[in-house]
Amino acid sequence: MAKYAPLLVAAISGIAMALQGTVNARLSQKTGIWETTFLVHLIGTVVVGLLMLFLGLGAVRFDRWLHIPWYLYLGGLLSVIIIYLVAVSIPKVGVCNATTAIIVGQ
């Protein structure tokens, strides 16, 4: 069973991605695509900040941040692009088609 745990974790991640895309698409219909992208990242930042603060997860080592190559921070930019494009595509082509296109793109 333990050897299959990483696959189970990956499957749960896939479910979360599909749910996130659906929820973000619905939110963007209520607020707008840029507002949705902003809200998703704001809420995520608050949640991670609280986890770090109250559960002691991660170590805030700002001194390390200065020595990291700039291009390694592009994940933040990619996250904005991904959230935006998923929220735009799902209402137009549906969750199944959008998810299939995402997997093909990967």
d(CA 42, CA 27): 14
Residue spans of alpha helices (H) in 4-105 = 5-31, 33-55, 62-65, 74-93, 95-105
29 confidence band (pLDDT: 50, 70, 90): very high
pLDDT digits (tens, 9 = 90+) for 47-65: 999 998 888 887 767 778 8
Domain of 77 in residue numbering reads as 2-105
pLDDT of residue 93: 93
> What total number of domains does the chain contain?
1
- Looking at residue 5, the DSSP 8-state letter turns out to be H
Backbone torsions φ then ψ of 11, nearest 5 degrees? -65, -40
pTM of the model: 0.77
**Nearest CA to 22 among 76, 98, 79?**
98
- pLDDT tens for each residue of 35-47: 999 999 999 999 9
